[in-house]
Structure 1
Amino acid sequence: MPETAIETLLGVDVGSTRIKAVLVDRAGVERRVAVGPTPFAAGPEGVEMGVDDLLTAVAAVLAALGPERRAAVAVGVAGMGECGAPLDDAGRPLGPVIAWFDPRGGEIVEQLTRSGGDGLAARTGRRLRTVSSVAKLGWWVEHGGRAPGGWLGVPELCVHALGGAAVTDPSLASRTGWYDVAARAYLSEVAEAIGVPLAALPEVVPAGSVAGRVGAAAAVRFGLAEGVPVTPAGHDHLAAAAGCGAGVADLVDSVGTAESLVRRLPAADGLDGEVLRAALELGVAVSARPDGEGWAALGRGPRAGPVLAAVIAALGGASLAELDAAAIEGGGVDGAELVEAALAGAALRVPSAPAGEVWGAVLEELARRTAGAASACARLAGPAERVLVAGGGARSLPWLRAKARHLDAPVWRAGVEAAA
C-alpha cells in the first residue's frame, strides 16, 4: 500500500435494484461511493440473474471506486436476504439466482404450509411466502435441478467469490425459511421436504467474523489487495439499522425496493414462543440480528420502489427530484387507488390533476401504509422514541414530511443512506 494511502473499510450492499459500495475511513467518514444496477432480467422462466453476471456487476461497481479501493483493509457484504443459487460440491453454480419477487415456488409454500402450519411459521419467524429461499430452491429441485451440494445467498456468493468460506450470518439465515430463529439452527425436516441435504446449507457465523481473505484471482477480478479479510455483513435492512446507530428504542425505516421497519426485540435471555406467535398474528417477521446478539422485529412496509417507478412513468418520466420539488400536500387525488394499481402491476389511471398533486397523494398513501407496519412493531416491542429513515427514500423531503404526519414518533433522516 502506498505510504500516502488512507486505510479504509469497504462495504458492499447488493440490493434488488442497485449494488452500492462505499469506502469509509477509520473515523467513519465516507471517502468514495459507487452505485450500479443489479443484473436481474426477465427470461422465459421469470426474473433471475446468473451468478457470474452478479459477480461481474459487483466488480464493475468496485472498479468505479477507483484505485482507492486497494487501500481497503477489510470487506463486508450485506444485501437482500432471500435470493441465492444452488451450487455443486465444488462450489460452482448449478443454476441462476431467482429474484425474490419472482412468483415461482408457490406450490412449495403450499406444501410446507400444509405440513408445518403455524408451528413452522413460528419457528422460522415468518409465514412462508414465495419470496423465501426455500420456495425458490424447492422449485428449482422440483423442476429438474439436481440436489445441490451447496447453496449460498447473494451476499454470501459475493463473500465466497472474494475468497471467503461458504458461510452465512444469522440475519441472512433467518430469511430463508429453513432456519429456526429462536434455536438458531437449521430445520432438517424443511431441507428434507424440498430434497436438499442439510449439509448443503452454509455454516452460520456472526456477521463480522472473518470468512476468509481475498485470494489472488479475486484480487485481480475485483481490484482489491490480496489477503484482505472478508465477512458477511447481514441482511440489508438489519445492516442499515446497525449502520445508522439505532438504539433499543429506535424504529428504523429502511426504504429500498421494499420497505422494512426494524426494531430490536427485548429478548436478551431468549425468544419465547409467545412472542413468536404474537408476531405472526401481527404480520411482523422476527429475525436473528446479524451479530447473533438478540433478535429484531421486521414490519413489512409497501414495495415503494416499484410503486414510485410506475407513477414516475405514468407522469411522463420526470425525475424523482423534480416531482419532490413539485409535490403538493393535501390535494384531492386518491393515492390509495394509484398505489394498489401499481402494486398489482396494472396500468395507472392518472387523474387530470397537477403532477405534484398526484405525487404528493402517492407519498401520503405510502406513508400511511408505513405507519400501519410501524404500529404492528410497536404492539410487539413497545412504542418507539424516534423513527430513523434510511435508504434511498430518505432523500425525499415531502415523503419524510408525510411519514412525520402519520407516524407516532419524531421522524429523523438517518446519517447513512445504504446498508453498506
Structure 2
Amino acid sequence: MGPERRVILGVDVGTTAVRAGAFALDGTARHVRAREYPLLQPVPGWQVQDPDVLVAATLAVMSACVADTAGAEVVALAVSSARYGLIGLDATLRPVTPLLTRRDTRSAEVARDLRVSGQSRELHRMSGTPVHPGSPLCKLIWFARHEPYLCATTRWWIGLKDYVVHRLTGTLVTELSSASGTGMFDVHRRVWSAGVLDLVGVSDGQLPPVLPTTGVLRLSAAAGRSVGLPSGTPVVVGAGDGPSSSLGMAAIDGTVGGLTLAATGALRTVVAAPLVDPAETFSCAALTEDAWVVGATVGNGGNVVGWAGHALAPDLRPASGDERAVPAFLGLAERVAPGSDGLVMLPYLLAERAPEGESGPPGAYLGLRGEHSRGHLVRAAVEGVCLQLGDVRDRLARLTPVSSVRLAGGAFRSPLWRAVMAAILDCPVRVSDAADDDAALGAAALGLFAIGLAPDLRGAITQLDPGSARAEPIAVDPALAAAYRGLRTKLPALVAVVGRIGEILDEVAAGPRVHWPADAMPRGAVGR
C-alpha cells in the first residue's frame, strides 16, 4: 500500500466545535469534518458543557473522516483540545461536574485574591500559566470554597482532553501540554507542585499521570467500533490547541510568530524551554519536551467585525450562508481610507483578561463624527482588532524575538484583513492556507512524529502539508504601515482612558435602579 493510501487522523476538540481531519501521508489530500455543540450558561459567568456531548461529537466526526477515506490505512490518530477545562469524576470515572470551560469566570474573585496576596507571581513563575479565572487552579479553589462536599467525594480532577483520550483508549492520563496549563504543574521540574496542591486542596493521587505529548496509547475495541477503526490503532495523546495550531501553520522556528484569527485571535512563538513572562501576561505551554509555545489569546477577533457587519450592514450578509465566503460588508470598509478618518475602535465587546485579573476596558468607538459612514465603523473594527494583535506582538517581542509572522485563520481570506494586519505588524508576513484546520493538522503532524514516520516536527508538517514551505508572502505597504504607526503608539493611552471610563460606568451600573411603573412606561420602552 503506497503512501497515498495511508492517512493519519488529527482531532481538535475545541470550545464550541470539534474538527477532525484525515491527512494523506504524502500530502496529496485532506478530508476535514466538523461538528458544533452548545456552550451552556446556567448562571451568569458560568460557561459549561456536557463532556459526553463533546465525546459523542468527537466520535461522529472521526467516523465521518474514516468513511471519507474508505480503503486507506489509518496509521494513527492524534488529539488536540482546548486547554484550561476542568471535569470532576467519581470512582467509576463518570463526570460529577460539567466541563468548566476556559471561558468560565466563576472564580474571578479567587484570581483577584491570589494577585492581591502576591501569590500569583510565584504561581506563574512555577507553572508558566498566568493566574486567571479560567485556569483549573482557580476553579479548584472555587470548588473548595463553595462546594466542599463535592470536593470530598470527587475521585479525579481532569481536563477535557484527558476525558476524550480516556473514552478513546480506556486509560486515564494527561500530558505535558495540558498539565502545563493547569497552574498546578511545575514546568521546570516536570512534576505536580506539592505546595500548589496543598493550596487548592487536592492530592497528586487525584490528578492523572503526566505523559509526554508524544505518548502513544491504543484505541479500545468499543471506540474502534464507533469510528470504524481496528482496536489497537495508535492514539497519540498530543498537545493543547495553541501549541498544535503553531505546528499546523508551520510557525515553529525560533523567531517566527504564529497569528491565528477566526472568531478569536492568538499570537504565539516557539522557544526551546519554558519561558515565563515577568509581567504575568503570556502563557507558556509544551508542544514537546524541547519545544514550548509562549503567547496570548484575545477573545475579540473576527467576532467583533462580524458583529459590526450584522449590526450595520444586515443587507450585505451572504444569502448562501457560506462561512468560507468573504463577507460582502467588508467591501464598505475597503472604500474607506486607512485610519478611518480619525475613527478608532477599541474592540472589547467581550471582556479580555487584563494583567490585574479584572475584566479590562469596555469596547468603544472614539472620535465619532457626523461624516463617518457605516464603512468607517466596519473598517475601524478591522483596524481595532489588528491593532490589539499588533500590541500583543510588540509585548511578546520584548520577551523573545519575533522578527516575522505567519498568518492563519478564516479572516485572512479577506484582502482587507491581510493588508491591515501586515501593515500594523510591519515585518515580513506570510499567509498559511491552514485556515480552519491548523490545530487538527498540527495534531496529525505531532502524531506522525510520535510514531516515528517523520524525523522531526518540521519534517512532519512539511510531509502532511507541502504547501507550508511555500506560504504566500504579503508585501507590506510602506504608506499603510506609516499611517498605522502613530496610532499604535497612542493605543495604550486610549485603552487606559477608556478603562477608567469603564470603571465609572460600572459604578453607575451598581447604583440604585429605577423601576418604571407599568402605567408610566415611556412610549417605546419594553417592560418586564
Counterpart in the other structure of 1:51: 51
Change (3 A) 1:218 1:290: same
Counterpart in the other structure of 2:60: 60
Change (3 A) 1:243 1:355: same
TM-score, normalised relative to structure 2: 0.70
Looking at structure 2, the residues matched to 39 and 222 of structure 1 have their Cα atoms a distance apart, in angstroms, of 22
Change (3 A) 1:183 1:30: farther
Looking at structure 2, the residues matched to 342 and 381 of structure 1 have their Cα atoms a distance apart, in angstroms, of 28
The alpha carbon displacement at 1:292 in A equals 1.4
Change (3 A) 1:254 1:233: farther
Measured against aligned partners, the alpha-carbon deviations of 1:66-88 in whole angstroms (never above 9, x if no partner) come to 61366422111112111131112
Per mean C-alpha deviation after superposition, the further-off stretch among 354-363 and 191-200 is: 354-363
Counterpart in the other structure of 1:280: 278
SS of match in other structure, 2:5:
coil
Measured against aligned partners, the alpha-carbon deviations of 1:261-315 in whole angstroms (never above 9, x if no partner) come to 1112254xxx5xxx63xx122722223x221114332134453154234324323
- Which residue identity lines up with residue 280 of structure 1 in the other structure? P
Measured against aligned partners, the alpha-carbon deviations of 1:152-204 in whole angstroms (never above 9, x if no partner) come to 22222211111152222222222111112222221222222222221122222
Looking at structure 2, the residues matched to 312 and 108 of structure 1 have their Cα atoms a distance apart, in angstroms, of 37
Looking at structure 1, the residues matched to 377 and 180 of structure 2 have their Cα atoms a distance apart, in angstroms, of 38
Change (3 A) 1:291 1:4: closer
Change (3 A) 1:187 1:306: farther
Looking at structure 2, the residues matched to 111 and 293 of structure 1 have their Cα atoms a distance apart, in angstroms, of 34
Looking at structure 1, the residues matched to 47 and 29 of structure 2 have their Cα atoms a distance apart, in angstroms, of 33
The alpha carbon displacement at 1:369 in A equals 0.9
Provide the alpha-carbon RMSD of the alignment.
Answer: 2.9
Unpaired runs of at least 5, structure 2: 319-325, 353-358, 441-528
Q: Choose from 188, 205, 211 the match for 1:205.
A: 211
TM-score, normalised relative to structure 1: 0.87
How many residues of Structure 1 are paired with residues of Structure 2 in the alignment?
Answer: 407
Counterpart in the other structure of 1:394: 412
Counterpart in the other structure of 2:341: 332
- Which residue identity lines up with residue 58 of structure 1 in the other structure? T
Q: Choose from 388, 408, 414 the match for 1:369.
A: 388
Looking at structure 1, the residues matched to 3 and 210 of structure 2 have their Cα atoms a distance apart, in angstroms, of 38
Looking at structure 1, the residues matched to 412 and 238 of structure 2 have their Cα atoms a distance apart, in angstroms, of 22
Whether contact under 8 Å (2:300, 2:349) holds in the other structure is no
Counterpart in the other structure of 1:217: 222
SS of match in other structure, 1:130:
coil
Whether contact under 8 Å (1:16, 1:257) holds in the other structure is no
| Pair 1:253-2:259 in alignment | yes
Looking at structure 2, the residues matched to 351 and 24 of structure 1 have their Cα atoms a distance apart, in angstroms, of 51
Counterpart in the other structure of 1:15: 14
- Which residue identity lines up with residue 230 of structure 1 in the other structure? V
Whether contact under 8 Å (1:149, 1:197) holds in the other structure is no
Looking at structure 2, the residues matched to 162 and 266 of structure 1 have their Cα atoms a distance apart, in angstroms, of 31
The alpha carbon displacement at 1:410 in A equals 1.6
Q: Choose from 146, 149, 165 the match for 2:151.
A: 146
Counterpart in the other structure of 1:410: 428
Whether contact under 8 Å (1:159, 1:231) holds in the other structure is no
Identity %, equivalent residues = 25
Looking at structure 2, the residues matched to 178 and 201 of structure 1 have their Cα atoms a distance apart, in angstroms, of 10
SS of match in other structure, 1:321:
coil
Looking at structure 1, the residues matched to 306 and 173 of structure 2 have their Cα atoms a distance apart, in angstroms, of 35
Whether contact under 8 Å (2:212, 2:288) holds in the other structure is yes
Unpaired runs of at least 5, structure 1: none
Whether contact under 8 Å (1:243, 1:419) holds in the other structure is yes
SS of match in other structure, 1:233:
coil
SS of match in other structure, 1:12:
strand
- Which residue identity lines up with residue 82 of structure 2 in the other structure? M
